[in-house]
Structures are given as structure tokens and as C-alpha cells.
Structure 1
Amino acid sequence: MKRLVPVIAAALCASALAACGAGERGAAAGPVDQAGVQKAKDLITQLQNRPTALPSTTPVGKPVPPGKTVDFISCPAAECNQFAGLLTDSAKKLGWTLKAINTDGSPGSQQQAFAQIARDRADAAIYVGIDRTVYERYLPELKANGTWMVSACSTDEQGNGIDFAICTPEQQRDTGRLMAAEIVADSGGKANSVYVNVPAFTNLSKLRGEFLAATKEFCAACGTGTLDIPLTALGNGTPQLIVGYLRAHPDVDYVALAIDSLASGVPAALKAAGLDQVKIVGQGGGAATSQAIKTGDQLASVPWPYIETYLAGLDSVVRHVTGAPQLPSQLPRSWIVTKSNVAETDQTIDDIIPVVAGSDRMFQQLWGAAS
């Protein structure tokens, strides 16, 4: 995990005249690339329909032994607090026990969590966005314990102690592309956007890169910039940093969020600063995001398949302990939510919006655990 930037440094950067991080500034200039705008619109039209099936429907086909234990290491983002409940309910369907381990996101806290997993001698561990350098020294003990290691949303590849990797940077790239398409299409090829990034979540690097590249692909004249938010500002200082950036860059009319939870308090802060013409696009989803889209406080979101991500991780554990063939790491295709289809997000699972409606039951059917 990258070294965190102090909040005060980020605040100074946000109020400076130059953008924080990579990107270009300046008003969109030159003729509108109508072909690029149409390409962006076509992509949105293609992905507005919600996926209806999981990538694989291959059942386990073997009895699942009861009594297994799975340890889950969460992350500091608001969304991560819901995953433990989802996994706990699914583990119960299997006759298993899930133990949630919370951290503050620091390497020291994460190392303590892996030490706990080693002491627990858990049958499996699922963890979110943690670099392998943090827990490398525990891998020999975890392997000796027979702990199946599931890495979710990190930059590390499967192998060398990581038994299954899901929500990889490559799997996130289409999300950034779709966010860019929405902004270009909505602006008619005249957007100036800032991508609000969280460098501590290194798994989002591909998403950011794809957003910036796709914006230029669809609209070469569109301005882009990056604002980095430190982990310590999550949940409190983010609105002020975004407003500070926008005041320093008055040409910016779109904010692209690396995680939708960054939007908490932002619409109100924009209105208070007289910047309510700025539109927000994000990724991740959730009840608060859906409500913001319904009220017009957010333009669009690309819901991340959280349920499908973590249940695919649990599915890999089920296949491991039963000796069934592993499925390839894959996720449902991307899906964009706007005001026209936001009503579809009202159906939730443990207060989490699935990309594939009923995906939890679909996984349970694969395991032979549906009731």
C-alpha cells in the first residue's frame, strides 16, 4: 500500500492552481468529435440492461462438508462493512462459520489480522485490497495450516500463495471506460472532468487509467485531471477537498469518483459552494448512491458486483474443500445505472445491490445449498 499523504498536504494540493496527480486541465476546445460521442452513447445503450446470469453455471456436484471456518478481513471503506454479513449468511447455508476481522487499513493492523488467521488455523481466508507484501511472512504458516487464500480487489496475481484472486485490476478496467463514456455522452463531447482517486486502494489504478484513456478516446478535446484523497480523509474531509479543487479549476463540470462512498456529503457541499452545476459519476453503488441518482444529486453509477465478487471467492473455497474443479476468476459484465433505470436497484441482498438479481441464490444452487 502506498504511503498515505497527510490530509493537510492534500488540502493544499486541492487548492493549488495545478492538478494533483496525472492529467490535463483546460477547457474542452476544438470541434466536437461526433463519432466519439456516438461511440460513448452506443456503449451506454449496450450496458444499460442489467445482466441476468452469472458468468458460469457449473454446479459443484459434490456434497459440501459442514463445519468449515472462513476468516474475512474487511477494509476501511464503508462498503466493506456490509460484506461480512453477506458472507456470514452464505456460510451458514453451507453449515460453516465465518469470522470477520476488522482493520483500520494500516499495514500493522492488517498484519495483526493475518496473524489471527494463522492462530485460528482457518480453512480459508478472504481479504480485501491487501498487498501481499503485508502478509508475505505469514504465507508459509498459512500454507502449512491448509488455509485457502482468496485475494479480493488487490493488484496481486493468483499463485505463489494466493489460491484465488477476484476483482483484479484487469476486471475493473471496463468500469472506468463506462464512467468516461457516460460523462462524454452527457456533455455532448464538451466535458471537463476530475477523477477523484484513493491512492491507498492500489487496486483502483487500472480503473483510473482506463477512465483517463477512454475519455481521450471518446473526446480528445475533453479536459481531465486527478485529485488524490488520502485514506485519513475518507468519511470526513473528502467534500472539502473536492470543493477546493473545483474552486481552483472552475472549468471542471464533472466529478468521477473512484468509489461511490466518496460522494457522502459532496452534493450538499457543492450546493453550499454554488457549484451545484457540477455532475457526479461514480462506481460501486449502494442504497445512498441509488437515492442520489433518483433525486438528481448524482448523474450515474456503475455498480460494482460486490455480491458476485465475494461469493465467487467463497465458491472457490467450496470447490477446494470438495475437490471440485475450480472455475476461472470472472465477474458479470458491467452495468450502468442512471435515472432511467435506477428503480432496478431497489432489489437488494443484505442491503447490497447485486449486479445480477438473485445472484446469492444462484451461487447457493451451485453449491446445492439453496433452500
Structure 2
Amino acid sequence: MNLKRHRKLGLLLTGAVVCSLSMAACSSSTNGGRSGGGEVTQDVKDLVAEYQEAPTEITQTEPLTAAPEKKSVAFIVCADPTCTVLADALEEAVTSFGWDFTAINAPATDFGSAVQQAIDADVDYIAGTGSDVATFQNAFDAAADAGLPYYSCYSSDVPEGEENNLFANCYDLTAVDEYSRVLTSWIIEDSGADASIGVVNIPEFPTLSNAVEDVENTLDEFCDTCASQPVDISLDVLGSGGTTNAIISFLQSNPDVNYLYLAFGNFEPGLGQALKSAGLEDVKVVGVQPQQAQIESLIKGETDAWIATPQENAMWTLADQMARHATGDWDKAQERTAAVPPIYIVDTKEEAEAIADLKDGWPGPDGFKDQYKALWGLS
């Protein structure tokens, strides 16, 4: 994996590869890394400014043409604790229009078995998060054969409706592309166009690893004096709790890096203290998908900026797409618009304190539930 210096013509400077923590985090060095800063363009400033305020509206604007008839929904709860939060949010959404809801826990290594349980339960809709269809293809195909539409979030699959039996992906690579562009632009402006970024990701998860390419593309577009490189965290290292040590080792091997970009908020716990202990407190930390722990870290001065992404709103988006299928209002173009939830940048102590009491992070625009209910004819 080569450190990339971002030229306007996309030229790459490569250097000697140095790997630390075998199979955990790899990096490479180049002759010079950062080049002492450059120009922060007006385009960068405008893009960052656009996302400095919390959004007030959901992305969906079209009302249903009728009230949806009663349906039943099964949600596959992944093994990560955050999925329980998602299940609760989806249950609240679908039961608001009188539907039945069932949560089915999925084993960490067999998501498909839980999907099969949902098929056997003879529900009308199945939803799940964090798993690409390819990881449970047989069960997904069985759902299609049974005529059960599938709804996803936090995966890389693109919904095509009847063509592939996927009717939603409420946080997909389209969303990752946009969020990465915004956060990378923040880094460019904050650094005075003198950033060397380590992008912490898990290669096995496209919604995390895609940030590596997105950061590169944004630097190619906006900052020819900046650099980036991936910090690949293996599933073994993640599962053993070794992520922080892998990041510290990476930084020690790459002293030119002055920003860490965390593609997932859960990479952060304990990182701030570890950086301080290692004498690396000058490295700035930014990331996506913060929850309460990450917001608290910003208040303490251990991290510097987060893209607030609304988990609850994402689940209400799934419910909205189900309702549109039930009423015959489902439309691919509308689904694609809704796939990019509203976001904003949290980069001050005051902004963090305003949402610090929300244990699951920023839920979405103020009154977003009422906005959905209005579209559903419930208010």
C-alpha cells in the first residue's frame, strides 16, 4: 500500500514499504510526505461551511399516496452492540403505522441463518445492516424466491427493486463518498493544505474501506500538497482489541502523519489517552459515525472533528421505503436520494456538549420522526 502525494494530474510518489504489526496495519513512506502547506481553495471552504450547521429536514419529501396496509417486519440484529440500537429505532418506526416487528439475533459468523429464520417466520419484509448480500447469498436468494423484499443499511449493495429484490440501502457507498469528501475537506482547511492522513479502516467492510479511496480522490481534487495512506485493521486485530496498538505502531513508523481519519467511531475508545502516552498527542483525530464516547472525547480535547451521522433517522428511512413498497409508491430515484442521510460536522466543544447526553449519537434533524409521520399521513 503506497503513500500517495496528491497532484492535480494524479501523479503518485512511491517509496519503501514498511509494515508494522503483521497483518494488522501497513504503511509506506515517500520522499517528503507533506510539502509544507499550500492553498486552501474557496471550494474547500464553501464545502466545509455547508455542513457546519445541523440539518433541519429529512431528505425524503414525497408523501405516500395511501395508508400502508398492515405488514410484518423481521430485523436481523448483527453481533455488534450498535445493532441493538438500530433494532429499537426500526421497531419504533414500523409500529408507528401499526405493523408487527420481530428482532432476530444473528451469529457473528452466520448472518444468513438469521435471514433464513425470518423467511421461516413468514414475515412480509426482512431488513438487516452491515452485511453485503454476497456474505449470505443463499439466504438472500431464498428470500427472493419466497417473494420477501429485503432492506439493507451500512452495506455496499445497490438497490434495484424488483430486479434484485433489494429495495433500500439507507447508508451505502454513495453516503460514504459524500461524508468522506466533507471530512477530508475539513482536514485540508484545518491543516492549511498541509495534511498527511492515515485512514483507519477494515478492508473486509466496503463501507469502511471505501473511505481510503474517497480520501485520495478528494485530495486529488483539492490538495496537491497533502498525502494519505491506509491503516488497514484486520478482523483478528479488531476482535482481539488490538486496534489502538496497531494505530500507535503505524504512527510511530510514519512520523509524518498528522491526521488520523477513523472510518468508524468505535475505532476511537482509548485512542486519545494512548496517543498522549506515546507522545503523539499532536496527531489530530477525526472520524465518522460518533456515538456518546466519541462526542465525549471531543469535549475532552482528545479528538478534533466528527461527521454526525444519524442512526435513528437511517432506520426510519428503511421504514419509509417499506411503506412505499406496501402502497405501490416505491421509486428507485427516491430511494437513491434517501440513501444519503443528512449530516453535519461537529468540531467544537460547544457543539459536542449540545448532543453529549444522547447515548447513541445525533439521531437526526430535530423533529425528523414527525416529518416522516407527516409523509405517512399520521400527523
Superposition TM-score, scaled by structure 2 size: 0.84
Task: Give, in angstroms, the shift of residue 49 of structure 1.
Answer: 1.5
Q: Distance in 2 between matches of 1:101 and 1:352?
A: 24
Matched, 1:82 2:85: yes
Partner of 2:280 in structure 1?
275
Matched, 1:241 2:249: no
Partner of 2:215 in structure 1?
211
Task: Give, in angstroms, the shift of residue 273 of structure 1.
Answer: 1.3
SS of structure 2 residue aligned to 1:313 = helix
Match of 1:19 among 6, 21, 27: 27
Fraction of identical pairs, as percent: 27
Task: Give, in angstroms, the shift of residue 149 of structure 1.
Answer: 0.8
Residues 1-371 of structure 1: pairs in structure 2 closer than 5 A = 11-12=21-22, 19=27, 26-29=32-35, 32-36=37-41, 38-66=42-70, 68-106=71-109, 109-159=110-160, 160-234=164-238, 236-326=241-331, 327-329=334-336, 330=338, 331-339=340-348, 341-346=351-356, 348=358, 351-369=360-378
Indicate the RMSD between aligned Cα atoms, in angstroms: 2.5
Check conservation: 2:20, 2:250, Cα contact below 8 A.
no
Cα deviation, 1:257-295, whole Å, max 9, x if unaligned, reads 011111011111111212111110001122222211122
Task: Give, in angstroms, the shift of residue 41 of structure 1.
Answer: 2.7
Task: Give, in angstroms, the shift of residue 24 of structure 1.
Answer: 6.0
- Alpha-carbon spacing, 1:140–1:262, altered in 2? closer, same or farther (3 Å): closer
Q: Distance in 2 between matches of 1:33 and 1:312?
A: 41
Q: Which runs of 4+ in 1 moved over 6 A?
A: none
Q: Distance in 2 between matches of 1:312 and 1:103?
A: 22
- Alpha-carbon spacing, 1:101–1:230, altered in 2? closer, same or farther (3 Å): farther
Check conservation: 2:73, 2:100, Cα contact below 8 A.
yes
Q: Distance in 1 between matches of 2:319 and 2:346?
A: 27
Check conservation: 2:321, 2:335, Cα contact below 8 A.
no
Q: Distance in 1 between matches of 2:199 and 2:142?
A: 40
Cα deviation, 1:220-256, whole Å, max 9, x if unaligned, reads 1222111111234337211111111111112211100
Check conservation: 1:10, 1:228, Cα contact below 8 A.
no
Letter of the structure 1 residue corresponding to residue 328 of structure 2 = G
Check conservation: 1:44, 1:181, Cα contact below 8 A.
yes
SS of structure 2 residue aligned to 1:70 = strand
Task: Give, in angstroms, the shift of residue 98 of structure 1.
Answer: 2.3
Q: Which runs of 5+ in 1 are unaligned?
A: 1-8
Check conservation: 1:82, 1:352, Cα contact below 8 A.
no
Task: Give, in angstroms, the shift of residue 142 of structure 1.
Answer: 1.8
SS of structure 2 residue aligned to 1:336 = strand
Check conservation: 2:321, 2:330, Cα contact below 8 A.
no
Check conservation: 1:180, 1:212, Cα contact below 8 A.
no
Cα deviation, 1:281-312, whole Å, max 9, x if unaligned, reads 00112222221112211100112232232211
Q: Distance in 1 between matches of 2:174 and 2:370?
A: 27
- Alpha-carbon spacing, 1:140–1:221, altered in 2? closer, same or farther (3 Å): closer
Q: Distance in 2 between matches of 1:24 and 1:54?
A: 44
Letter of the structure 1 residue corresponding to residue 254 of structure 2 = H
Letter of the structure 2 residue corresponding to residue 150 of structure 1 = Y
Task: Give, in angstroms, the shift of residue 314 of structure 1.
Answer: 1.2
- Per mean C-alpha deviation after superposition, the further-off stretch among 139-148 and 77-86 is 139-148
Cα deviation, 1:15-37, whole Å, max 9, x if unaligned, reads 7xx607xx96843115x32144x
SS of structure 2 residue aligned to 1:239 = helix
Q: Distance in 2 between matches of 1:26 and 1:358?
A: 49
- Per mean C-alpha deviation after superposition, the further-off stretch among 237-246 and 90-99 is 90-99
- Alpha-carbon spacing, 1:291–1:314, altered in 2? closer, same or farther (3 Å): same
Partner of 1:4 in structure 2?
none
Q: Which runs of 5+ in 2 are unaligned?
A: 1-18
Q: Distance in 2 between matches of 1:201 and 1:224?
A: 19
Cα deviation, 1:92-118, whole Å, max 9, x if unaligned, reads 222223222333543xx1121121111
Task: Give, in angstroms, the shift of residue 124 of structure 1.
Answer: 0.7
Q: Distance in 1 between matches of 2:63 and 2:302?
A: 42
